[in-house]
Structure 1
Amino acid sequence: MALIDSTPVHGLAEEAPDCREKVLDRRRGPSDPLRIALVVPLQGPAGIFGPSSEFCAELAAEEVNSAGGVLGRPIEFVVVDGGAPPHSVAGEVDLLVSAGAVDAVIGWHISSVRKALIPRMADRVPYVYTALYEGGERAPCVFLAGETPGRQLRPALAWFARELGVRRWAVVGDDYVWPRRTAAAARRYLAQIGGVIGEEVFVALGTETYGDVVRRLGAAAPQGVLMLLVGADAVAFNRAFADAGLHETCVRFSPLMDETIVLGSGAAATEGLFAAAGFFETLITADSLDFSARYHRRFGALAPVLNSMGESCYEGVRLLVELFNRAGSTDLRQIRESSHGLAYDSPRGPVHLRGQHLEQRVFLAAVDGLEFDVLQRF
């Protein structure tokens, strides 16, 4: 079984010297377990994704270890709270990498955390970023397993225009890099199909009340709302949107909408709600059904709900393992040189690496009560 050190290392750089020396003592040799910093949110609006992310990563590690490990070494995790302020997360990971305590970094966390992490890592170890994101990342140390707007947002907006006649949109998003840049991409895509964004509202991460926002949406009367909200923020918005009755005249679409958010929102707040992702638990493919069965067999009926964010962490472990095995080394330079053309089968189906991005199928789904009904493959 993979070892997860579930105590976040938040604040170690500022703690007493004996605590810092304990981390420095974790430097290992080539025959010791391969340790990975698993950066997932344990607090804040994205914290609702943390449990499934940890469980899915653990499942991947157990499967790898039962098959002999990576380059003959078992996987272990050091969990870092990716829901802390970005500079704090970056400091913690920097400490682990500098101490030789980890061989790689993976995880689902928001783009502002990724932006803070990359300069501190200084191309020393591979970094697999599993979250959907705004696109355009080219840092040499990063391999990106998540969906991007060109593969996720662009075909979905065209589908809404073609199938539902929805061309007049509003945007509601959290105020950081992913929502801002994704909204800009949406404006470009809509311009190509005769669509428009008429209203944009960005709120602080952690916003809990949306009365003013839904009033602005009601006055603007869009046909659709592009939701670029994270976790608990999306839950609160869905409830306010439904309470205002806007679901009767306006659809909602989000590239960051999973089973956890749907359950938190409640069936009364999900009418007219759509999502696009590379994985849904209700996706009826051999790969996804097999993954779901393994997850529930391992963790039981009381496990965190399986969702695309959690599955992305499973994906991140798989991608990292494939990179290590292909290179025959944990050295970042050798990994980069050997990574081109890497391909394998995953819960998302066949995937392959191109330009450090994992190319994959994307699916559009409508929420039916508390479940996703997959409508279209892109």
Structure 2
Amino acid sequence: VTGWHISSVRQALAPRVAHRVPYVYTALYEGGERTEGVFLTSETPDAQLWPAMRLLAGEQGVRRWFVVGNDYVWPRRTSRAAQRYALRGGGQVVGRHFLPLDAHDFTEVLRRIEHSDADAVLMLLVGADAVRFNRAFARSGLDQRCLRLSTLMDENMLLASGAGATRRLYSTAGFFAGLVTQENLDFHGEFARRFGVEAPPLGSLGESCYEGVMLLAALIGQARTLDVRAIETAADTVAYHGPRGRLRLRQRHVRQRIYLAEADGLDFTVLAQL
């Protein structure tokens, strides 16, 4: 089993496939997954969020964060981690607001941000919810006062948000379409050859699904069996080469480089490796 889906789906699925088949989870998540047979390719807060918050504190003077997230396990646990990181960096979380999935009305959370003394908003919103929030945030004029940082924002979401809604929007991730590496250029070239130059942009979500299949193949190939315990035994010797270069598995998690990027209209400009 492999795929990109939210953490509540993973929590329901993992116990049902444990000990039976290998399961490669490709979405960023809150950390702490230890179910036997579950392997994870994507980012966790310690490696992704803390370095980004630290850099923005140092370079942009961010001290006061307001957290906006969907109401389920990933945003709630990541919000608690953000509180620790903010304090560690000499700042604080001045407010939190959690919304149901498929949220359309942001009136209350925008009012709370406006009345707070926040100078940055941490977005922990999924898919279309993040897109609609970006639009509402820009319409409110809050983008002139607060920068936004998201750990889940790719080029397709920028396109859906519109260039006017991405001012002072930052994202942190292990992959961006604009990364200038030979592996990424080759990946995009093959994608364009197969699906055409007008195919949807290759963002971090799509790349992660491709990489999930690669990791699953590497795990099975190294163990030479589908037996979960044998795969677990061999897992820490597994490495594979993909769009992000050569990556290795350690303690069921892929060790990876993480980047900070800033939106420039409908594209991201990578600013730093964290």
Q: TM-score range by the shorter chain?
A: over 0.9
Given candidates 234, 245, 256, the residue that maps to 1:360 is 256
Q: Secondary structure at the match of 2:176?
A: coil
2:18–2:36 CA contact under 8 A, matched in 1:
no
Question: Equivalents in 2 of 1:367, 1:183: separation in Å?
Answer: 23
Task: Report the alpha carbon displacement of residue 340 of structure 1 after superposing the two structures with TM.
Answer: 1.1
In the other structure, the counterpart of 1:297 is 193
Paired residues in the alignment total 274
In the other structure, the counterpart of 1:259 is 155
1:349–1:360 CA contact under 8 A, matched in 2:
no
In the other structure, the counterpart of 1:121 is 17
Runs of 4+ that moved beyond 3 A: none
Task: Report the alpha carbon displacement of residue 316 of structure 1 after superposing the two structures with TM.
Answer: 0.2
Q: Secondary structure at the match of 1:194?
A: coil
Task: Report the alpha carbon displacement of residue 349 of structure 1 after superposing the two structures with TM.
Answer: 2.2
Consecutive unaligned residues of structure 1, counting only runs of 5 or more, are 1-104
Question: Equivalents in 1 of 2:17, 2:239: separation in Å?
Answer: 26
1:353–1:359 CA contact under 8 A, matched in 2:
yes
Bigger radius of gyration: 1
Structure 2 letter corresponding to 1:120: R
Asked if residue 160 in structure 1 is aligned to residue 56 in structure 2, the reply is yes
Question: Equivalents in 2 of 1:189, 1:326: separation in Å?
Answer: 38
Structure 1 letter corresponding to 2:178: T
Q: Normalised by the size of structure 2, how large is the TM-score? A: 0.98
Given candidates 197, 200, 214, the residue that maps to 2:93 is 197
Within 5 Å, give how 1:105-144 maps onto structure 2. 105-144=1-40
In the other structure, the counterpart of 2:145 is 249
2:122–2:150 CA contact under 8 A, matched in 1:
yes
Question: Equivalents in 1 of 2:68, 2:164: separation in Å?
Answer: 20
Asked if residue 327 in structure 1 is aligned to residue 223 in structure 2, the reply is yes
Question: Equivalents in 1 of 2:242, 2:18: separation in Å?
Answer: 30
Task: Report the alpha carbon displacement of residue 122 of structure 1 after superposing the two structures with TM.
Answer: 3.5
In the other structure, the counterpart of 2:76 is 180
Q: Secondary structure at the match of 1:150?
A: helix
RMSD: 0.9
Question: Equivalents in 1 of 2:78, 2:170: separation in Å?
Answer: 17
Consecutive unaligned residues of structure 2, counting only runs of 5 or more, are none
Q: Secondary structure at the match of 2:236?
A: coil
**Percentage identity across paired residues of the two chains:** 55
In the other structure, the counterpart of 1:211 is 107
Q: Secondary structure at the match of 1:117?
A: helix
Question: Equivalents in 2 of 1:186, 1:327: separation in Å?
Answer: 38
1:350–1:360 CA contact under 8 A, matched in 2:
no
